[in-house]
Chain A
Amino acid sequence: MITQTHYLVLSTALFFIGVVGVMTRRNVIVILLSIELMLNAVNINLIAFSYYLKSEIGQVFAIFVICVAAAEAAVGLGIILAFYRNKETVNIDEMNLMRW
Protein backbone atom coordinates (compact mmCIF):
# COMPACT_ATOMS: atom_id res chain seq x y z
CA MET A 1 0.00 0.00 0.00
CA ILE A 2 1.27 3.44 -0.90
CA THR A 3 1.31 5.73 2.12
CA GLN A 4 2.00 9.41 2.62
CA THR A 5 5.60 8.54 3.40
CA HIS A 6 6.16 7.25 -0.13
CA TYR A 7 5.05 10.57 -1.58
CA LEU A 8 7.10 12.53 0.94
CA VAL A 9 10.22 10.52 0.04
CA LEU A 10 9.55 11.05 -3.67
CA SER A 11 9.12 14.80 -3.28
CA THR A 12 12.19 15.07 -1.05
CA ALA A 13 14.26 13.25 -3.67
CA LEU A 14 12.92 15.50 -6.43
CA PHE A 15 13.60 18.63 -4.35
CA PHE A 16 17.13 17.36 -3.66
CA ILE A 17 17.78 16.85 -7.36
CA GLY A 18 16.65 20.43 -7.91
CA VAL A 19 19.01 21.68 -5.19
CA VAL A 20 21.92 19.81 -6.77
CA GLY A 21 21.06 21.40 -10.10
CA VAL A 22 21.02 24.91 -8.60
CA MET A 23 24.29 24.33 -6.75
CA THR A 24 26.35 22.65 -9.45
CA ARG A 25 25.32 24.05 -12.81
CA ARG A 26 26.62 27.29 -14.29
CA ASN A 27 24.03 27.88 -16.99
CA VAL A 28 21.38 30.24 -15.63
CA ILE A 29 18.67 28.61 -17.74
CA VAL A 30 19.44 25.19 -16.24
CA ILE A 31 19.30 26.77 -12.78
CA LEU A 32 15.81 28.08 -13.53
CA LEU A 33 14.83 24.59 -14.75
CA SER A 34 16.05 23.18 -11.43
CA ILE A 35 13.89 25.70 -9.57
CA GLU A 36 10.91 24.44 -11.58
CA LEU A 37 11.76 20.90 -10.44
CA MET A 38 11.77 22.07 -6.82
CA LEU A 39 8.39 23.77 -7.24
CA ASN A 40 7.06 20.52 -8.67
CA ALA A 41 8.29 18.65 -5.61
CA VAL A 42 6.34 21.08 -3.44
CA ASN A 43 3.25 20.53 -5.57
CA ILE A 44 3.52 16.75 -5.19
CA ASN A 45 3.55 17.26 -1.43
CA LEU A 46 0.46 19.48 -1.53
CA ILE A 47 -1.50 17.11 -3.78
CA ALA A 48 -0.51 14.04 -1.73
CA PHE A 49 -1.73 15.66 1.48
CA SER A 50 -4.89 16.78 -0.27
CA TYR A 51 -5.54 13.13 -1.17
CA TYR A 52 -4.78 11.66 2.23
CA LEU A 53 -6.66 14.33 4.18
CA LYS A 54 -9.58 14.19 1.72
CA SER A 55 -9.67 17.93 1.24
CA GLU A 56 -9.32 20.08 -1.87
CA ILE A 57 -7.38 22.84 -0.11
CA GLY A 58 -4.08 21.28 -1.16
CA GLN A 59 -5.13 21.36 -4.80
CA VAL A 60 -6.09 25.04 -4.50
CA PHE A 61 -2.67 25.86 -3.12
CA ALA A 62 -1.01 23.79 -5.85
CA ILE A 63 -2.78 26.03 -8.38
CA PHE A 64 -1.37 29.09 -6.59
CA VAL A 65 2.11 27.55 -6.71
CA ILE A 66 1.77 26.98 -10.46
CA CYS A 67 0.71 30.62 -10.80
CA VAL A 68 3.79 31.80 -8.91
CA ALA A 69 5.97 29.51 -11.03
CA ALA A 70 4.62 31.10 -14.20
CA ALA A 71 5.37 34.58 -12.86
CA GLU A 72 8.85 33.49 -11.79
CA ALA A 73 9.61 31.99 -15.20
CA ALA A 74 8.49 35.15 -17.02
CA VAL A 75 10.52 37.54 -14.86
CA GLY A 76 13.54 35.22 -14.65
CA LEU A 77 13.71 34.74 -18.38
CA GLY A 78 13.34 38.51 -18.87
CA ILE A 79 16.32 39.05 -16.57
CA ILE A 80 18.32 36.43 -18.50
CA LEU A 81 17.53 38.16 -21.80
CA ALA A 82 18.52 41.58 -20.44
CA PHE A 83 21.73 40.14 -19.00
CA TYR A 84 22.58 38.35 -22.22
CA ARG A 85 22.05 41.53 -24.18
CA ASN A 86 24.60 43.30 -21.98
CA LYS A 87 27.29 40.67 -21.50
CA GLU A 88 26.77 38.04 -24.23
CA THR A 89 26.79 35.15 -21.78
CA VAL A 90 24.50 33.20 -19.45
CA ASN A 91 27.26 32.01 -17.14
CA ILE A 92 26.32 32.56 -13.50
CA ASP A 93 29.96 33.24 -12.59
CA GLU A 94 29.95 36.39 -14.68
CA MET A 95 26.82 37.74 -12.98
CA ASN A 96 28.73 39.89 -10.51
CA LEU A 97 27.53 43.39 -11.38
CA MET A 98 25.98 43.94 -7.96
CA ARG A 99 28.56 42.06 -5.92
CA TRP A 100 29.96 44.14 -3.06
Chain B
Amino acid sequence: MEGQLAFYVLSACILGFAVLVITARSTVHGILFLVLDFLFVAGLYVLLQAQFVAVIQVLVYAGGIVILYLFVVMLVNLKRPPEAHKDRHRRGRLGVALSLVVLAEFVMIALFGYVGPGVGAEGGGLSVRNVERVGWMLYTDYLVPFELASVLLLVAMIGAIVLARREL
Protein backbone atom coordinates (compact mmCIF):
# COMPACT_ATOMS: atom_id res chain seq x y z
CA MET B 1 0.00 0.00 0.00
CA GLU B 2 2.77 2.43 0.90
CA GLY B 3 4.54 1.32 -2.26
CA GLN B 4 1.49 2.21 -4.34
CA LEU B 5 1.16 5.62 -2.74
CA ALA B 6 4.88 6.30 -3.21
CA PHE B 7 4.70 5.25 -6.86
CA TYR B 8 1.79 7.54 -7.64
CA VAL B 9 3.27 10.53 -5.79
CA LEU B 10 6.66 10.05 -7.47
CA SER B 11 5.09 9.59 -10.90
CA ALA B 12 2.99 12.72 -10.54
CA CYS B 13 6.05 14.72 -9.49
CA ILE B 14 8.19 13.30 -12.33
CA LEU B 15 5.63 14.07 -15.02
CA GLY B 16 4.70 17.47 -13.57
CA PHE B 17 8.28 18.66 -13.36
CA ALA B 18 9.00 17.26 -16.83
CA VAL B 19 6.19 19.41 -18.22
CA LEU B 20 7.61 22.39 -16.33
CA VAL B 21 11.06 21.71 -17.84
CA ILE B 22 9.84 22.01 -21.40
CA THR B 23 7.44 24.90 -20.77
CA ALA B 24 9.58 27.17 -18.59
CA ARG B 25 10.24 30.52 -20.24
CA SER B 26 13.60 30.93 -18.55
CA THR B 27 16.22 28.31 -19.36
CA VAL B 28 17.68 28.51 -15.86
CA HIS B 29 14.29 27.70 -14.34
CA GLY B 30 13.98 24.77 -16.73
CA ILE B 31 17.33 23.40 -15.60
CA LEU B 32 16.38 23.73 -11.92
CA PHE B 33 13.12 21.87 -12.59
CA LEU B 34 15.22 19.20 -14.30
CA VAL B 35 17.25 18.77 -11.09
CA LEU B 36 14.03 18.16 -9.13
CA ASP B 37 12.86 15.75 -11.80
CA PHE B 38 16.09 13.75 -11.55
CA LEU B 39 15.78 13.60 -7.76
CA PHE B 40 12.27 12.15 -8.01
CA VAL B 41 13.46 9.63 -10.61
CA ALA B 42 16.17 8.62 -8.13
CA GLY B 43 13.41 8.08 -5.57
CA LEU B 44 11.67 5.80 -8.05
CA TYR B 45 14.91 3.81 -8.40
CA VAL B 46 15.03 3.34 -4.63
CA LEU B 47 11.44 2.10 -4.80
CA LEU B 48 12.60 -0.43 -7.41
CA GLN B 49 15.45 -1.59 -5.14
CA ALA B 50 18.20 -0.16 -7.34
CA GLN B 51 20.00 1.84 -4.70
CA PHE B 52 23.32 2.02 -6.54
CA VAL B 53 21.79 3.48 -9.69
CA ALA B 54 19.80 5.93 -7.56
CA VAL B 55 23.00 7.24 -5.97
CA ILE B 56 24.68 7.43 -9.39
CA GLN B 57 21.65 9.32 -10.69
CA VAL B 58 21.94 11.94 -7.97
CA LEU B 59 25.71 12.25 -8.21
CA VAL B 60 26.18 12.22 -11.99
CA TYR B 61 22.94 13.73 -13.25
CA ALA B 62 21.80 16.14 -10.58
CA GLY B 63 25.32 16.92 -9.43
CA GLY B 64 27.39 16.85 -12.61
CA ILE B 65 25.52 17.09 -15.88
CA VAL B 66 23.01 19.70 -14.75
CA ILE B 67 25.74 21.91 -13.33
CA LEU B 68 27.44 21.68 -16.74
CA TYR B 69 24.20 22.93 -18.32
CA LEU B 70 24.02 25.79 -15.83
CA PHE B 71 27.60 26.81 -16.67
CA VAL B 72 26.79 26.91 -20.38
CA VAL B 73 23.63 28.96 -19.80
CA MET B 74 25.66 31.44 -17.79
CA LEU B 75 28.31 31.59 -20.54
CA VAL B 76 25.75 31.99 -23.31
CA ASN B 77 24.40 35.32 -22.18
CA LEU B 78 21.25 35.61 -24.25
CA LYS B 79 20.28 39.06 -25.34
CA ARG B 80 17.49 37.91 -27.62
CA PRO B 81 15.89 34.65 -26.53
CA PRO B 82 15.00 32.29 -29.37
CA GLU B 83 11.32 32.11 -28.44
CA ALA B 84 10.88 35.84 -29.07
CA HIS B 85 10.99 35.14 -32.77
CA LYS B 86 8.36 36.03 -35.31
CA ASP B 87 5.67 33.50 -36.26
CA ARG B 88 6.49 31.40 -33.26
CA HIS B 89 3.52 29.06 -33.64
CA ARG B 90 4.54 27.83 -37.07
CA ARG B 91 6.96 25.19 -35.84
CA GLY B 92 4.94 24.55 -32.69
CA ARG B 93 1.84 23.03 -34.29
CA LEU B 94 3.85 20.77 -36.59
CA GLY B 95 6.00 19.69 -33.66
CA VAL B 96 3.02 18.74 -31.52
CA ALA B 97 1.52 16.81 -34.44
CA LEU B 98 4.76 14.86 -35.00
CA SER B 99 4.97 14.13 -31.27
CA LEU B 100 1.43 12.75 -31.33
CA VAL B 101 2.50 10.45 -34.16
CA VAL B 102 5.26 9.11 -31.91
CA LEU B 103 2.78 8.59 -29.08
CA ALA B 104 0.40 6.78 -31.44
CA GLU B 105 3.30 4.53 -32.43
CA PHE B 106 3.92 3.61 -28.80
CA VAL B 107 0.22 2.90 -28.28
CA MET B 108 0.17 0.67 -31.36
CA ILE B 109 3.18 -1.24 -30.07
CA ALA B 110 1.46 -1.64 -26.71
CA LEU B 111 -1.80 -2.82 -28.28
CA PHE B 112 -0.51 -5.15 -30.97
CA GLY B 113 2.89 -6.16 -29.68
CA TYR B 114 3.52 -9.40 -27.89
CA VAL B 115 2.92 -9.10 -24.17
CA GLY B 116 4.38 -11.93 -22.18
CA PRO B 117 2.89 -13.23 -18.98
CA GLY B 118 3.42 -10.85 -16.11
CA VAL B 119 6.27 -11.80 -13.88
CA GLY B 120 5.47 -12.03 -10.20
CA ALA B 121 6.51 -8.86 -8.52
CA GLU B 122 6.49 -9.00 -4.79
CA GLY B 123 9.58 -9.72 -2.85
CA GLY B 124 12.95 -9.71 -4.41
CA GLY B 125 16.46 -10.40 -3.35
CA LEU B 126 17.52 -7.42 -5.44
CA SER B 127 18.16 -5.03 -2.60
CA VAL B 128 20.41 -7.44 -0.74
CA ARG B 129 24.00 -6.32 -1.37
CA ASN B 130 22.90 -4.38 -4.43
CA VAL B 131 26.19 -2.56 -4.94
CA GLU B 132 28.21 -5.73 -4.61
CA ARG B 133 26.11 -7.61 -7.14
CA VAL B 134 26.05 -4.78 -9.68
CA GLY B 135 29.79 -4.29 -9.32
CA TRP B 136 30.42 -8.01 -9.68
CA MET B 137 28.39 -8.07 -12.88
CA LEU B 138 30.16 -4.98 -14.24
CA TYR B 139 33.60 -6.46 -13.69
CA THR B 140 32.90 -10.00 -14.90
CA ASP B 141 30.19 -10.44 -17.53
CA TYR B 142 30.19 -6.86 -18.77
CA LEU B 143 33.89 -6.06 -18.53
CA VAL B 144 34.36 -5.27 -22.23
CA PRO B 145 31.35 -2.88 -22.44
CA PHE B 146 32.58 -1.28 -19.24
CA GLU B 147 36.00 -0.58 -20.73
CA LEU B 148 34.39 0.62 -23.97
CA ALA B 149 32.32 3.07 -21.90
CA SER B 150 35.51 4.49 -20.44
CA VAL B 151 36.91 4.93 -23.96
CA LEU B 152 33.66 6.66 -24.94
CA LEU B 153 34.02 9.08 -22.05
CA LEU B 154 37.62 9.78 -23.02
CA VAL B 155 36.61 10.51 -26.61
CA ALA B 156 33.77 12.76 -25.42
CA MET B 157 36.17 14.65 -23.14
CA ILE B 158 38.67 15.23 -25.96
CA GLY B 159 35.84 16.23 -28.30
CA ALA B 160 34.42 18.73 -25.83
CA ILE B 161 37.85 20.28 -25.29
CA VAL B 162 38.47 20.57 -29.04
CA LEU B 163 35.01 22.06 -29.65
CA ALA B 164 35.34 24.61 -26.87
CA ARG B 165 38.72 25.92 -28.05
CA ARG B 166 38.73 29.52 -29.06
CA GLU B 167 40.08 29.20 -32.58
CA LEU B 168 37.59 26.71 -34.00
**B is a partner of A:** yes
Interface residues in chain A, defined as those with a beta carbon under 8 Å from any beta carbon in chain B: 1-4, 6-8, 10, 12-30, 32-34, 36-37, 40, 43-44, 47-48, 50-54, 56-57, 59-60, 62-64, 66-75, 77-82, 84-85, 88-93
Query: Which of the four size classes fits the interface of chain B?
Result: 35 or more
Interface residues in chain B, defined as those with a beta carbon under 8 Å from any beta carbon in chain A: 3-4, 7, 11, 14-15, 18-19, 21-22, 27, 30-31, 34, 37-38, 41, 44-45, 48-50, 52-53, 56-57, 60-61, 64-65, 68-69, 72-73, 75-76, 78-83, 85, 88, 91-92, 94-96, 98-99, 102-103, 106, 110, 118-119, 121-122, 124-126, 130, 133-134, 137-138, 142, 145, 149, 152-153, 155-157, 159-164, 166, 168
Q: Given A47-B53, A54-B126, A67-B153: A33 and B30 within 8 A (CB)?
A: yes
Contact of A74 among B52, B68, B110 (CB under 8 A): B68
A93, closest chain B residue (CB): B85
CB contacts (< 8 Å) of A75 on chain B: these are 156, 159-160, 163
Contact B64 A70 (CB under 8 A): yes
Measured between alpha carbons, how far is A5 from B127 in the docked complex, in Å? 22
Q: How far is the CB of B75 from chain A (nearest CB, A)?
A: 7
Contact B91 A17 (CB under 8 A): no
